[in-house]
Amino acid sequence: MGWLKPLGKYFVNEQTEDYSRIKLLFLQAGFNNEDLIPVYWGLKCFLALLLPVIFFLLRVTVFKIVQPNLIMLICVILAMAGFYLPDLLLKLKISRRKDKIARGIPDALDILVVCVEAGMGLDAAMNRVADEIRLTNKPLSDELRLYNLELRAGKSRPDALRNLGLRIDIEDIKNFATLLIQTDKFGTSIAQALRTYSDTFRTKRYMRAEEIAAKLPVKLVVPLILFIFPSLLVTLMGPAAIRIFHALIKK
């Protein structure tokens, strides 16, 4: 895949907003290597050329298509599909990573509260949480480790927390980062703030679960009507319908 990098460099300009947007998407997907961005652009261009070429070569022997206008239309559609396919895969990767991180937030928050209430500093507690959840939630552990690495590199805690929220891009993490920034700014108790946030977060989780449970019966209506009820109708009425049919034939 290294040959894609020179191809992608023709389309990469580090000064544009599009480059910053894609860089942020890569961070949210868990890729911290900026060298992958030219490879990403190279892959988009390569697929945009490859799919139409494959179809064009096989248009007669496999697809049995000879109309020029239809061939041109399909080539354009395949070129667009090939160009946007990496975007779709990247967003799918981000979505799966967010889901996994979201599932690990409650446990990580509980461990963090325990560590801070036991007397550990916030940064040391975050590092301890990263170690504890390493096996169960590697993406969240990696983000917490990166937060600590930024602090060691000289970045201020508010900036490191903001970057944490941007990389993960989950509302709960952004609220968590804002809480710690405000706590650090005004000098209030971190342990008390974390305990309050943990209780609030747990209440929100219960409310979300209740909301999902309340929506479930409505979502089940269509599958019941289309699949379950017809099967029950056939099972219950089938034997009677067969008997009626035979009775009518005998008459």
Positions in the chain whose pLDDT score sits under 50: none
pLDDT at 150: 92
Residue given tokens 């599958």 in the structure block: 223
pLDDT at 201: 82
Distance (Å, rounded) from C-alpha 40 to C-alpha 205?
A: 37
Q: pLDDT tens digits, residue range 219-251? A: 888 888 888 888 888 888 878 888 887 777 776
pLDDT at 60: 65
Distance (Å, rounded) from C-alpha 41 to C-alpha 139?
A: 25
Task: Examine the domain organization and report whether 110 and 184 are in the same domain.
Answer: yes
Does residue 167 fall inside a structural domain? yes
Distance (Å, rounded) from C-alpha 199 to C-alpha 178?
A: 17
Of the chain, the percentage scoring pLDDT greater than 70 comes to 95
pLDDT at 17: 78
Task: Examine the domain organization and report whether 131 and 74 are in the same domain.
Answer: no
Task: Examine the domain organization and report whether 109 and 194 are in the same domain.
Answer: yes
Task: Examine the domain organization and report whether 57 and 130 are in the same domain.
Answer: no
| Last residue of one domain, picked from the residues 79, 98, 117 | 98
Cβ neighbours around 6 below 10 Å, total: 11
pLDDT at 26: 92
pLDDT at 241: 80
Does residue 192 fall inside a structural domain? yes
| Last residue of one domain, picked from the residues 78, 98, 118 | 98
Distance (Å, rounded) from C-alpha 130 to C-alpha 144?
A: 6
Task: Examine the domain organization and report whether 142 and 52 are in the same domain.
Answer: no
Task: Report the run of H or E that residue 92 belongs to, with start and end.
Answer: helix 68-117
Task: Examine the domain organization and report whether 85 and 135 are in the same domain.
Answer: no
Does residue 222 fall inside a structural domain? no
Task: Examine the domain organization and report whether 145 and 173 are in the same domain.
Answer: yes
pLDDT at 62: 66
| Last residue of one domain, picked from the residues 98, 119, 142 | 98
Nearest Cα residue to 76 out of 56, 104, 99 = 56
Task: Examine the domain organization and report whether 111 and 186 are in the same domain.
Answer: yes
Q: Which residues contact 3 (CB under 8 A, 6 or more apart)?
A: 42
Distance (Å, rounded) from C-alpha 140 to C-alpha 143?
A: 5
Number of domains in the chain: 2
How distant is the alpha carbon of residue 44 from its chain centre? 20
Q: Which residues contact 47 (CB under 8 A, 6 or more apart)?
A: 82, 83, 85, 86
Does residue 122 fall inside a structural domain? yes
Distance (Å, rounded) from C-alpha 84 to C-alpha 22?
A: 13
Task: Examine the domain organization and report whether 151 and 87 are in the same domain.
Answer: no
Structural domain of 175: 100-205
Distance (Å, rounded) from C-alpha 156 to C-alpha 181?
A: 10
pLDDT at 202: 82
Q: Average pLDDT of the chain?
A: 86
Does residue 182 fall inside a structural domain? yes
Task: Examine the domain organization and report whether 108 and 199 are in the same domain.
Answer: yes
Task: Examine the domain organization and report whether 166 and 185 are in the same domain.
Answer: yes
